[in-house]
Amino acid sequence: MKINSPLEAYKYLPQTNCGECGQPTCMAFASTLIDRSGKTTDCPPLIKEKKFAKKLAELDRLLAPEIRQVTIGVGERAANIGGDDVLYRHKLTFFNKTKMFFDVADNMDEAAIVERVKKISDYKKFYIGRNLLLDGVAIRAASNDPAKFATAVKKVIENTELPVILCSFNPAVLKAGLEVAKGKNPLLYAANKDNWKEVGELALEYNVPVVVSAFNDLDGLKTLAKTFAEAGIKDIVLDPGTYPTGKGLKDTFTNFLKIRRAGIMGDTEIAYPIMAMPLTAWMAGIADPVSASYWETVLSSIFTIRYGDIMLLHSMEPYATMPEVHLAETIYTDPRSPVAVDSKMYKVGNPTADSPVLFTTNFALTYYTVESDLASNGIDCWLLAVNTDGIGVEAAAAGGQLTADKVKDAFEKSGFDLKSDVTHNSVVIPGLAARLQGDIEDKLNVKVMVGPMDSGRLPGWMEKNWPPKK
Ligand code: SF4
């Protein structure tokens, strides 16, 4: 039985409230263990004092996620995959966003490999206050030649800090890659029913994570995973095969559900992260590359939503990657805590004392939408993000998180004085919060102008209404 409340975790802690973990009490530290923002190793007494050794071991066992977490690569860009505890996001949250690895082949010329690796490494898409990135490089041994593969692996790791997957069913090729990638903790792809003995030995010898692969054969997959676990290999990833279309795709989808359900329900022999391969879209006989990219994105979306922990992809066209990274970001956002920006006064452009003052809520999606509508139209202004616990304007105004008192409080905390920092003593409020107009006028003693319902209409609204009439 896992534990899932701070009270249960507290029982295993030293209970001295010494504060060495950075938390004021052991109970506060127990909360961080449950939400996974803290680790047992953050409590020095628990780690150092022998008398707690048994409790520590037991606590680690009880806190371990149902699905094993596997790490690929080293350093800041190392990729953690798996680590989930639930089948449905709303029951807790999904941990470790689906990791997207893009392929290079060892039969590409060196300049092309370097160019593609740089493109993968440099990919960056700004989305509600953060940069969405790609996660790694999968190096395919298209040549099946150990020397050629080793050269390609060398080129890749010289040009990126991203983790890599070494892809071949030939153990000699994998060994050549492993020699070059020593210390980089690459993922080995893959052991199957024909090569499992040699690939298993490589995983043990080089101490690296490994994929076990059995296409549309769950019994075979489980047997391989069990054999590897019994041999002492802990970091295993499952590849049940990804069929790109038709009945094969339906089988693949069902296989992903069965594996994850069994893992979450306690079948430890198959409780490992799952690999999906949307790049099989390119083997589906789709002649037109745009359509193949599109279908790859469809496959990626299916397996982002249903239990793909790591993916191999090919198309780097923006119309393929953008929906892929956005969807993964959304599915893996913690539903218990909406993404929020700091509640404070922001400058948009270069505002002066004559510039308009607006507010919105601190829900990141709302804030960045409003900010982008203003900035992209060259409207210099002051924009206050009111703390509504990360809730959007309409829901917050209806639910009591956005009130005149909250707005007043936000202005006071930001240090922005409507009487002295601007000349017009007025504030533009969102159209969706129009009901607050009178209250805000009373509480802040300012002129309140009700803006449009949609921030996309702010430029037109400003043309008609700004500056305010005396
Ligand atoms: Fe409690 Fe350990 Fe934190 Fe000290 S370091 S307060 S014993 S959890």
pTM of the model: 0.86
Q: How confident is the model at residue 356 (pLDDT cuts 50, 70, 90)?
A: very high
Given the CA of residue 46, which atom of ligand 1 is nearest to it? 2
Taking only the tens place, the pLDDT of each residue in 333-347 is 988 878 899 999 999
Check if 98 has its Cβ closer than 6 Å to any atom of ligand 1: no
* Stretch 236-252: mean pLDDT: 97
Check if 47 has its Cβ closer than 6 Å to any atom of ligand 1: no
Nearest to 386 by CA among 369, 418, 409: 409
Which DSSP category does 374 fall into?
H
Dihedral sign of CA atoms 397, 401, 405, 410 in order: negative
Q: What is the CA(389)–ligand 1 centre distance, in A?
A: 29
Q: CA dist 52 to 12, 34, 46, 58, 83, Å?
A: 8, 19, 6, 10, 25
Taking only the tens place, the pLDDT of each residue in 123-159 is 999 888 889 999 999 999 999 999 999 999 999 999 9
* Stretch 87-96: mean pLDDT: 90
Q: CA dist 209 to 271, 273, 438, Å?
A: 15, 11, 62
Check if 14 has its Cβ closer than 6 Å to any atom of ligand 1: yes
Given the CA of residue 17, which atom of ligand 1 is nearest to it? 6
* Stretch 202-216: mean pLDDT: 98
Q: From atom 8 of ligand 1, which residue's Cα is the shortest distance away?
A: 26
Structure tokens that stand for 404 in this block = 């005149």
Cβ proximity of 279 and 314 under 8 Å: yes
Nearest to 187 by CA among 290, 110, 79, 87: 79
Q: What is the CA(9)–ligand 1 centre distance, in A?
A: 12
> Which element (helix H / strand E) includes 393?
helix 393-399
Structure tokens that stand for 258 in this block = 């069965």
Q: What is the CA(12)–ligand 1 centre distance, in A?
A: 11
Check if 26 has its Cβ closer than 6 Å to any atom of ligand 1: yes
Structure tokens that stand for 211 in this block = 């994929």
pLDDT of 103 > 70? The answer is yes
Check if 41 has its Cβ closer than 6 Å to any atom of ligand 1: no
Which residue do the tokens 């900010």 mark? 371
Given the CA of residue 30, which atom of ligand 1 is nearest to it? 8
Dihedral sign of CA atoms 168, 172, 176, 179 in order: positive
> Which element (helix H / strand E) includes 347?
strand 345-348
